[in-house]
Structure 1
Amino acid sequence: MVLFLSIACTVSSLQKLPPNVTVPALLFFGDSIVDAGNNNYVKTLIKCNFPPYGKNFEGGIPTGRFCNGNIPSDIIASELGIKDTLPAYLDPTVLPQDLITGVTFASGGSGFDPLTPKLVSVLTLSDQLEYFKEYIGKLKAIIGEENTTFTITNSIFLVVAGSDDIANTYFTLRARKLKYDVPAYTDLMANSASSFVQELYKLGARRIGVFSAPPVGCVPAQRTLAGGS
């Protein structure tokens, strides 16, 4: 297993893979940074399926992406030459060929801390893992067990979470502040991330990357709350 604790993605030109490297699919887990619309199909207030979201996306239509255009999962999929955009797993319009090349299970508002997604009624990482198990079953029905094993083993799995834990659960709602100081809370997050990666590994994933949390203080919402511009 290869685990990257901090991945930087520079978008400049198509990144060509070495001739001996095969990446059949790209699979994402985590929060709003890589949620392509799963929250549209979850009973939560954490949604962005309305303008001005999506104004720079294909057709200018909101899709549930927490962005005006493509999100990192789309960009990485395009850069690797897998497909132009990575769809949300819960989108009912997703076709079998979409599943074969990858989807995102991420849910805006989720996090490594199990309390974080529960506070806003979104998919926990455990929920996302259950959907991944369901995905494996669907893949077996489409391409067979042997090809599914090959796909899971050679695909890239990326996990993006942590910002909602720090910004919302810990500092804004203070739901963990009485019990944990910052080092202890980040240990909780790291242990949860490690457990999640181990579960992915048990299910056959071998190329696994975990993004570090972005600079939370630079997030517009946090700057607004703190009185910044």
Structure 2
Amino acid sequence: MAYSFNQTKPLVPAVIVFGDSIVDPGNNNDLKTPIICNFPPYGQNFYGHKATGRFSNGKIPTDFIASGLGVKDLLPPYVGYPLTPQDILTGVSFASGATGFDPLTPVIVNVIPMMDQLKLFAEYKEKLKAIAGEQKAAKILSEALYVICVGTDDVANTYFTTPFRVIDYDIPSYVNLLVSHAGTFIKQLHAMGARKIGYVGLPPIGCVPSQRTVGGGLERNCEPKRNYAAQLYNYKIQGEIDNILKETGRKDTKITYIDIYNILLDIIQRPGFYGFEEATKGCCGTGLIEVTKLCNSKTAKTCSDVTKYVFWDSFHPTEKAYKAIVNNIFDNYLSVLI
């Protein structure tokens, strides 16, 4: 079952998002960072074939979530975008590609830290109050759906690619570091008024094309240590969420863990079932390593039929794959929150 944008009435007043490139619609565009994608061929299947800063060929998950709930067709970025009063009333994304819960992760590539995303949210709340008034703003904030989607870059980039953390942490202790920061973030977001929070777990990181390339050997198999880290994180964050719910003691608070590990792994292992043909390489360039600036129209050609590919670049799924993942989220999780 997938909701459609033809809802007569929105199921929530607003969608508000925090996280990384999976849910970043363009907040990185004006940052001095290599993690940008506001150039072709990104966005080749988006409206007007426009590269907006979304890390895919078209829409990203939060666009599908917002439209599926009847809120609006696209969820805009908060930073560097000409937001209208209606944009503010119905929600935005604060997500920044390549950020993470490890405080070191955003520093390495100069993107927006998770705690700074909360500062932007505090600024957004004041704008919402100015537009809607105190009472209506409070109602919107308490009834909005909040989505948190982050952590992949911590594991794939900070832990496995740089030397900064692997010296001092084994996988379980590094996962504990991430879960601790995640718990702090959820508690602060709750203290700022969030009552319906969807917390997205980590995907099978070891099966992402770039991680197969760097860690999967000559045959580019799924890399098991990265997948183990993701699975351990997903297990521990669920326990953390349970503890936070007990601590809040508020019956109006819903924090739901959303599993994307198993649906994406199933798509990768059974691509034909979902209408795909290629699940180990991206559509952009060789599909083995190209992402962000390496995936550009000057040096990297794209595949002839993107609908056959699970992955757009070496790190991010295609619009079609994202749609399948969000359909699964609607089928299994959002009814609990809404």
Same fold (TM over 0.5): yes
Q: Distance in 2 between matches of 1:182 and 1:48?
A: 30
1:55 counterpart letter in structure 2: Q
Within a 5 Å distance, the mapping from 1:49-198 to structure 2 comes to 49-198=38-187
Q: Distance in 1 between matches of 2:5 and 2:206?
A: 31
Q: Distance in 1 between matches of 2:69 and 2:3?
A: 10
Q: Distance in 2 between matches of 1:154 and 1:15?
A: 19
Structure 1 alignment gaps of length 5 or more: 1-10
8 Å Cα contact 2:11/2:70 also seen in 1: no
1:14 aligns with 2:8: no
* Aligned-pair Cα RMSD in Å: 1.8
1:47 aligns with 2:36: yes
Shift of 1:219: 1.6
Partner SS, residue 197 of structure 2: strand
Counterpart of 2:196 in structure 1 is 207
* TM-score, L = length of structure 1: 0.90
8 Å Cα contact 1:23/1:156 also seen in 2: yes
Higher relative contact order (CA 8 A, sep 6+): 1
Cα distance per residue 1:36-79 (max 9 Å; x no partner):
00000222111001111000111111000001010001011111
Counterpart of 1:37 in structure 2 is 26
Q: Distance in 1 between matches of 2:88 and 2:76?
A: 9
8 Å Cα contact 1:22/1:154 also seen in 2: no
Q: Distance in 2 between matches of 1:96 and 1:178?
A: 48
Shift of 1:12: 3.5
Shift of 1:22: 4.9
Within a 5 Å distance, the mapping from 1:215-226 to structure 2 comes to 215-226=204-215
Q: Distance in 1 between matches of 2:127 and 2:169?
A: 41
From the superposition, tell whether residues 202 and 13 of structure 1 become closer, same or farther in structure 2 (CA, over 3 Å): closer
Counterpart of 2:296 in structure 1 is none
* TM-score, L = length of structure 2: 0.62
Partner SS, residue 172 of structure 1: coil
Q: Distance in 1 between matches of 2:208 and 2:83?
A: 31
Partner SS, residue 28 of structure 2: helix
Shift of 1:14: 2.5
Quick check: which has more Rg, 1 or 2? 2
From the superposition, tell whether residues 77 and 22 of structure 1 become closer, same or farther in structure 2 (CA, over 3 Å): closer
1:140 counterpart letter in structure 2: K
Cα distance per residue 1:172-196 (max 9 Å; x no partner):
1132111111011111111111100
Q: Distance in 1 between matches of 2:6 and 2:183?
A: 30
Q: Distance in 2 between matches of 1:12 and 1:24?
A: 19
Q: Distance in 2 between matches of 1:188 and 1:131?
A: 24
Q: Distance in 2 between matches of 1:105 and 1:41?
A: 13
Structure 2 alignment gaps of length 5 or more: 221-279, 281-338
Q: Distance in 1 between matches of 2:56 and 2:83?
A: 20
Counterpart of 1:4 in structure 2 is none
Shift of 1:223: 1.9
Partner SS, residue 159 of structure 1: strand
The size of the alignment, in residue pairs, is: 217
Q: Distance in 2 between matches of 1:81 and 1:174?
A: 45
1:97 counterpart letter in structure 2: Q
8 Å Cα contact 1:65/1:71 also seen in 2: yes
8 Å Cα contact 2:28/2:111 also seen in 1: yes
